[in-house]
Structure 1
């Protein structure tokens, strides 16, 4: 347990040209616990400006005081620091360093490369509100001097602070806060006196007056104790820190009074209506009581001596011994304060790079990701999983229905194919009769070939019936007339062929042909006289189911219809059939005789057509 407590102890060290002051404390939640306070005069053989000599003396003093702590806090006095107050717009804490560095670098009395910059926020920092910061800068070589002193003393530096800010923290802890009143704090030293103005816990003005107050170094007797009548207790080791006011040098007090008045008037140049509400005097020179009395009379306000009894829980008599430890106590008390409220030249606040900002956001991003994953898991467990089970059940039922649907579709396709097959079936005798009805008389043309065929239609279950006629004509233009008659009879896509001379010596001098698509309908046979306009008779051709009742069927010659393709040709009998139809059924058409390849080739006529009319 003792090891755990010892690891939290901190040693605050500060010095001037004549003495060093050390405070050993343990930070607590509500302040600090004072363990020991030591003041030791610096012998004339030790130079406060030599790091090795001063460090060796501090090490010896720590050993003599039996302080077993090496973690130390140091502070730099006001006269060695460039100090300025900067007003900033609403700014996040991680972005303040860049703004302060940019502003202070322009106002430094030395090169920015030689400077160590840091700042402390005045009051409470609100990223959404404007704020004031106390910006400070020191030469890098001065920080190296303090590091060398600590190294020679065997100390590990935790922080290098600012003496005026340490005085402010000590005063605030001792009085419970300064409120809105304007407080003058005068910390008297042998060769340097610091004068600070504080309002609302914020340092609004600070100045160091370099002057000697005529103090003589304290002497140390052979037993190691300082001469004098100073109060001694188990926590305070001091050598004659109080002098009788009658021994004070009146000239030194008057000189200090002048410096204080000059400092206050310098502050009033920026705030003419300012007036003091309280004066506090700290130090161990012996001039403090008389100086406080004269300052109170000069500014007509209450003046008191610094007493940390409230901050440390000491009696007034014991707290009187710590009048010269104002800065050291402030270092120890402020060690647990927020980083933005402290000055630390050893670890100054630096501008944060974009990469560092991203790294700072990583823990938050990880926590957000964990919360998001947890929320997603709970949401899935409560809502998604039941819905997924329902979806699986529906998908299973859907798969079963798809199998049944496939069977239904296959059956429907077969039905459609069958219906299309039946619908596209042709009654070829009716088609031949229709063609015969519109074919030219035999003195004008005779057929050499007739092809009838059922062709499957792409992307359809139906079939398309085509008719192709090859024939010879006695005169040009006959094929076009036949094409017009076929169109009038309902044939589609009728394409007449080219009329080519045969080179023969008979009257049928031109070879030609015609292609057409046979429509799906009942056929009406139109007589040749209707085509010529001399009169017309019509006979409705029987459908396929009545083919058995036709005259041809009575002679045992049923009409043929092809299932996939039907190719039939007729010779002179095609003309004779047309004559029979024109006679109103008095005669009958010649028989159509299919050849071995499903067609009949008719021989060319060897005689000219008769002139007595159609046969």
Structure 2
């Protein structure tokens, strides 16, 4: 119970700021070697190591069974993690070295490797994943060519490791190469130098021999070892002699192919239990220092391992994955050639994008201008409506004033003309007027009652002499005792100066002729001048103060202003 609590607390104490946990796994036959590490910005910190042996009922070529066993081991050792890093063995990889022309650019290496590897692989490149590592040009290369180490792994192998990690409950983040993992740990320990150094990794079923020069993997091959048991001395000696023979054969082949000088030494690592015997045998067979590789750093060997040297591949894999650049060879994330850019297409797309941006800017600007103009148009429309209403009110007022002015200018001086006409008439004993009305703008119509026809003729002559142009419309003789003649006259007024009024005789005191009523009908829609019952003379009637004419009514603002009448309309 306490172990479970400690495991949970240890996971809580690993926040994101301190890095991300991952597990590096090295599978050597039936032996599993595990390293739990935390990946930081540019390095990895080792937390815990472990080792386990597959049970007899678990086959090493069954990824599901091996993954399930691995997941149980990780949980029991408090090393469970969501990320996992593994490495493939040398016999599962096709490894080639290419020399590229001098001056080859970094972005051109992937394309050249892809072109060259199609002719070198024993299988189709579509059936494998190819990755490469650019090694520094060797010092004895006078041409300055760039040396590229290419590794190819078939897809079923990658699927095997990916399925194994999934069965263990983790995600496979990277898949490297075990010789490269050993090289990475040697470089981290500061062992690998400039001279050729042979590294022998002893496994349960195979031995991997690598030649390291100038801190790079210059040559690598693997050899199968005979089966050997810990309690069988003969089988162990046979496996040891086989490993020594493979090392000597590798060195002779390397000297013949590369033409290099003697090697600087031989390092032996692994967990087969034959390392000490192989070192002793190589020391007697080679004229070079031979030693067993022991990590200089404080790494305790896990339970079940004799030495920390068995963890060289797992430790190197963890350190390489924790670096800033990641694994040098990663078959899950291989380096691929960059697609060649079509400059014409790029320029065309850039032009289209620029055009779209310009059109969008114009559209937004036009929308902004349109919005401002719509707002301004609304404001101006409101002001125009107010001004039109004001103009209409002013126009109505102006029309009313103009109507009044026109009426005043066009009206005749009716009172002066009536006074002069009254002076031109004879006394009421000879004639009187029964009714008078205005005709048009400058006409006057009335009916005259006279004692004889000569009186009517005299009135016409006097009015003609005064410039009024009288017209007798009708004349008749009545059956009345006093005023037997009646005539209807019409005068046309003039604009000439009237001057002083002539003298006229006053009406006598016993005048009763004006009391008679006119029997003829009078139209109700026309103004008339009728004699009052107490007066019998037109002059006496005109002596009264005149009644001012009614001005025309004020026009309504909603109706059209009628033209004012110039006819004088006396009051009732």
Please give the TM-score of this superposition, normalised by the length of structure 1: 0.50
Which of residues 169, 193, 211 is equivalent to 1:154? 169
* Matched residue SS, 1:74: strand
* Matched residue SS, 1:9: strand
* Matched residue SS, 2:29: coil
Which of residues 178, 193, 196 is equivalent to 2:210? 196
1:155-176: CA deviation from partner (whole Å, max 9, x where unpaired): 11111111111111111112x1
Please report how far the alpha carbon of residue 333 of structure 1 lies from its aligned counterpart in structure 2 after TM superposition.
0.8
Does the alignment pair 1:170 with 2:156? no
Question: Compared with structure 1, are the counterparts of its residues 292 and 31 closer, same or farther at alpha carbon in structure 2 (3 Å cutoff)?
Answer: farther
Distance across 2 between alignment mates of 1:313 and 1:352: 43
Which of residues 287, 292, 303 is equivalent to 2:290? 303
Does the alignment pair 1:117 with 2:130? yes
Cα pair 1:296 1:303 within 8 Å, conserved: yes
Please report how far the alpha carbon of residue 357 of structure 1 lies from its aligned counterpart in structure 2 after TM superposition.
11
Unaligned runs of 5+ in 2: 1-12, 351-572
Please report how far the alpha carbon of residue 30 of structure 1 lies from its aligned counterpart in structure 2 after TM superposition.
7.5
Runs of 4+ that moved beyond 6 A: 245-248, 315-320, 356-360
Please report how far the alpha carbon of residue 356 of structure 1 lies from its aligned counterpart in structure 2 after TM superposition.
10
Please report how far the alpha carbon of residue 140 of structure 1 lies from its aligned counterpart in structure 2 after TM superposition.
1.0
Does the alignment pair 1:84 with 2:71? no
* Matched residue SS, 2:120: coil
Question: Compared with structure 1, are the counterparts of its residues 273 and 354 closer, same or farther at alpha carbon in structure 2 (3 Å cutoff)?
Answer: closer
Instruction: Name the structure 1 match of 2:200.
Output: 186
Which of residues 21, 26, 30 is equivalent to 2:33? 21
Distance across 1 between alignment mates of 2:77 and 2:342: 44
Distance across 1 between alignment mates of 2:160 and 2:220: 24
Instruction: Name the structure 1 match of 2:275.
Output: 288
Does the alignment pair 1:322 with 2:308? yes
1:515-559: CA deviation from partner (whole Å, max 9, x where unpaired): xxxxxxxxxxxxxxxxxxxxxxxxxxxxxxxxxxxxxxxxxxxxx
Equivalent runs, 1:502-581 vs 2, <5 Å: none
Please report how far the alpha carbon of residue 288 of structure 1 lies from its aligned counterpart in structure 2 after TM superposition.
0.4
Unaligned runs of 5+ in 1: 217-242, 366-615
Please report how far the alpha carbon of residue 215 of structure 1 lies from its aligned counterpart in structure 2 after TM superposition.
3.1
Distance across 2 between alignment mates of 1:338 and 1:307: 26
Distance across 2 between alignment mates of 1:85 and 1:357: 33
Cα pair 1:121 1:341 within 8 Å, conserved: no
Please report how far the alpha carbon of residue 340 of structure 1 lies from its aligned counterpart in structure 2 after TM superposition.
8.6
Which of residues 313, 317, 327 is equivalent to 1:331? 317
Does the alignment pair 1:100 with 2:87? no
Cα pair 1:177 1:201 within 8 Å, conserved: no
1:9-35: CA deviation from partner (whole Å, max 9, x where unpaired): 221111022111111112457753221
Does the alignment pair 1:277 with 2:264? yes
1:89-118: CA deviation from partner (whole Å, max 9, x where unpaired): 323322211111111111111112111111
Distance across 1 between alignment mates of 2:90 and 2:291: 23
1:466-516: CA deviation from partner (whole Å, max 9, x where unpaired): xxxxxxxxxxxxxxxxxxxxxxxxxxxxxxxxxxxxxxxxxxxxxxxxxxx
Cα pair 1:164 1:194 within 8 Å, conserved: yes
Question: Compared with structure 1, are the counterparts of its residues 338 and 97 closer, same or farther at alpha carbon in structure 2 (3 Å cutoff)?
Answer: farther
Instruction: Name the structure 1 match of 2:570.
Output: none
1:116-150: CA deviation from partner (whole Å, max 9, x where unpaired): 1110121489xx97421110111111111111111
* Matched residue SS, 1:323: helix
Question: Compared with structure 1, are the counterparts of its residues 112 and 273 closer, same or farther at alpha carbon in structure 2 (3 Å cutoff)?
Answer: closer
> CA RMSD of the aligned region, Å?
3.2
Instruction: Name the structure 2 match of 1:435.
Output: none
Larger Rg: 2
* Matched residue SS, 2:244: helix
Question: Compared with structure 1, are the counterparts of its residues 359 and 292 closer, same or farther at alpha carbon in structure 2 (3 Å cutoff)?
Answer: farther
With 290-299 and 98-107 compared, the bigger mean Cα shift is at 290-299
Distance across 1 between alignment mates of 2:93 and 2:343: 30
Aligned residues: 329
* Matched residue SS, 1:354: coil
* Matched residue SS, 1:150: helix
Instruction: Name the structure 2 match of 1:540.
Output: none
Does the alignment pair 1:346 with 2:361? no
Distance across 2 between alignment mates of 1:102 and 1:183: 31
* Matched residue SS, 2:20: coil
Distance across 1 between alignment mates of 2:342 and 2:306: 48
Distance across 2 between alignment mates of 1:150 and 1:358: 46
1:397-444: CA deviation from partner (whole Å, max 9, x where unpaired): xxxxxxxxxxxxxxxxxxxxxxxxxxxxxxxxxxxxxxxxxxxxxxxx
Distance across 1 between alignment mates of 2:285 and 2:344: 57
Cα pair 1:248 1:287 within 8 Å, conserved: no
Please report how far the alpha carbon of residue 273 of structure 1 lies from its aligned counterpart in structure 2 after TM superposition.
4.4
Does the alignment pair 1:143 with 2:147? no
Please report how far the alpha carbon of residue 69 of structure 1 lies from its aligned counterpart in structure 2 after TM superposition.
1.4
Instruction: Name the structure 1 match of 2:495.
Output: none
1:167-194: CA deviation from partner (whole Å, max 9, x where unpaired): 11111112x1522211110000010110
Cα pair 1:190 1:285 within 8 Å, conserved: yes
Question: Compared with structure 1, are the counterparts of its residues 317 and 83 closer, same or farther at alpha carbon in structure 2 (3 Å cutoff)?
Answer: closer
Please report how far the alpha carbon of residue 264 of structure 1 lies from its aligned counterpart in structure 2 after TM superposition.
1.2
Question: Compared with structure 1, are the counterparts of its residues 270 and 198 closer, same or farther at alpha carbon in structure 2 (3 Å cutoff)?
Answer: same
* Matched residue SS, 1:262: helix
Please report how far the alpha carbon of residue 339 of structure 1 lies from its aligned counterpart in structure 2 after TM superposition.
4.1
Does the alignment pair 1:251 with 2:242? no
1:229-262: CA deviation from partner (whole Å, max 9, x where unpaired): xxxxxxxxxxxxxx9x989822221121111111
Please give the TM-score of this superposition, normalised by the length of structure 2: 0.53
Question: Compared with structure 1, are the counterparts of its residues 356 and 91 closer, same or farther at alpha carbon in structure 2 (3 Å cutoff)?
Answer: farther
Cα pair 1:16 1:48 within 8 Å, conserved: no
